Structure 1
Amino acid sequence: MNATDRTPADLLRSALAADPSRPLVTYYDDATGERVELSVATFANWVSKTANLLQGDLAAAPGDRVALLLPAHWQTAVWLLACSSVGVIADMDGDPAAADLVVAGPDALDAARACTGERVALALRPLGGRFPQPPDGFLDFAVEVPGQGDRFAPYAPVDAEDPALIVAGAELSGAEVTERALGDAPDLGLTGPGARLLSMLPYDTWAGLSAGLFAPLAAGASVVLCRHADRLAEDGLARRIEDERVTATAA
């Protein structure tokens, strides 16, 4: 983190400038056997493409609310940073009827139809795969995002003091997200570059978002994000901690 970083998008830019090749997010789904590792550069590219989709095709503007009906997943992390890049408010598990846009996983499509604005569906399939049949009334993220630009510039500067995130009913500005994430890092065992945190927490609380994305990003560390870890074999977690060179855990 640099002294001038005020938003999560600033943190990502600093991470990209410092070491684009290092791992940032490693994702496991123990229900499917999926493992995906994204370097800072690859993650930032996904964020740029998603931010371009959000700002361009979806016409989202600073202050708009995006309901994210998504689990702890690497694509959710991408959307959180894309929202920060554009200046829209990421509302985790927010009310789609009160949102300007909704982004939903396959288990939340029925609820997402309450949104009268643009609707985006994520299949959450391995390797970012698309739906076999696009859901009626939704854009398929995996279809729309590949053609977006690899570089992103917001139409208007993002104010770090504006609302950026709503989680568990609490509204935080971009500056507050960044400050809280940096403050959480020591308690999570993220003492500097090279630290690697394994998180099994969902993204529906600040603790889950901090451990599963924001604190590792602020600390120059990386996260091993595990979904459905309860399905691991008895010694599976210990093997993963060793194989992934994990230095701290959050569960």
Structure 2
Amino acid sequence: MNATERTPADLLRSALAADPGRPLVTFYDDATGERVELSVATFANWVTKTANLLQGDLAAGPGDRVALLLPAHWQTAVWLLACASVGVVADVGGPAAAADVVVSGPDALAEARACSGERVALALRPLGGRFPQPPEGFLDYAVEVPGQADAFAPFAPVDPEAPALIVAGAEYTAAETVERARRDAPELNLTGPGARLLSGLPYGTWEGLSAGLYAPLAAGGSVVLCRGLDRLDGDALARRIEAERVTATAR
């Protein structure tokens, strides 16, 4: 941590410079049995490509609102950091009709059609797979993102004091997002590099976003993000905690 880290994108750049090979996000979907582990470098590359898609192909820029109609998922985490990289407002679960761009999972496509701007659909299939049949009126994220460039620079500098995140009706600047994540880290027992938090919280609240992404990133730790954690019994959960070397939990 240092004084120059004033946006979530700054936190990711610092993590990349410090240790690009360490795990950052490990994702489980307990409905499908999927497990994906992304190192800092791999996660950052997804963020870079997504930011280029957002800024270039979707023409989004500072002040624009991107509605994220997505569950707690590793690709949602990528979109949150891509929004921070471009300087747009990530509106988690926000109204599609008020958004300049909507990014939707397969369960929210009907709601997402209320957006009159660009629409992107995520199949949320294992390994980032595409839709078997692309939804009409949407770009398929899995088709569009692989060809994006592996380097990113925002067209305009990102203002840390500008609105950056809306969740559960509350709005935060980029700097506030970082500051809150840093304050949350010790409360979540994220006490330094190597800390590994298992989170089963949804992304529809600040607490879920902080535990599931921002606080581990701010602490130099990592997150084991679990969707459908309630499917596990106590023994299965204990085995996961041991196998993943989890040091703290948020459920």
Deviation at 1:47, TM superposition (A): 0.1
Q: What is the identity, as a one-letter code, of the residue corresponding to 2:208? A: G
Deviation at 1:234, TM superposition (A): 3.9
Match of 2:61 in 1: 61
1:38-117 aligned within 5 A: 38-117=38-117
Identity level (%): 82
Report if the CA contact (8 A) 1:2-1:14 is conserved: no
- Total equivalences in the alignment: 251
Q: What is the identity, as a one-letter code, of the residue corresponding to 1:45? A: N
**Runs of 4+ off more than 3 Å:** none
Match of 2:8 in 1: 8
Unaligned runs of 5+ in 2: none
Aligned equivalents of 2:3, 2:18: Cα separation in 1: 14
TM-score (normalised: structure 1): 0.99
Deviation at 1:3, TM superposition (A): 2.1
1:243 is the counterpart of 2:243: yes
Match of 2:19 in 1: 19
RMSD: 0.5
Report if the CA contact (8 A) 1:12-1:217 is conserved: yes
Match of 2:161 in 1: 161
Aligned equivalents of 1:136, 1:231: Cα separation in 2: 33
Aligned equivalents of 1:63, 1:249: Cα separation in 2: 35
Deviations along 1:175-200, one digit per CA (max 9) or x if unpaired, are 00000000000000000000000000
TM-score (normalised: structure 2): 0.99
Match of 1:175 in 2: 175
Aligned equivalents of 2:235, 2:34: Cα separation in 1: 18
Deviations along 1:113-145, one digit per CA (max 9) or x if unpaired, are 000000000000000000000000000000000
1:230 is the counterpart of 2:230: yes
Aligned equivalents of 2:233, 2:246: Cα separation in 1: 18
The alignment partner of 2:103 has SS state of: strand
Q: What is the identity, as a one-letter code, of the residue corresponding to 2:142? A: A
The alignment partner of 1:235 has SS state of: helix
Q: What is the identity, as a one-letter code, of the residue corresponding to 1:5? A: E
1:137 is the counterpart of 2:143: no
Aligned equivalents of 2:142, 2:236: Cα separation in 1: 31
Q: What is the identity, as a one-letter code, of the residue corresponding to 2:178? A: T
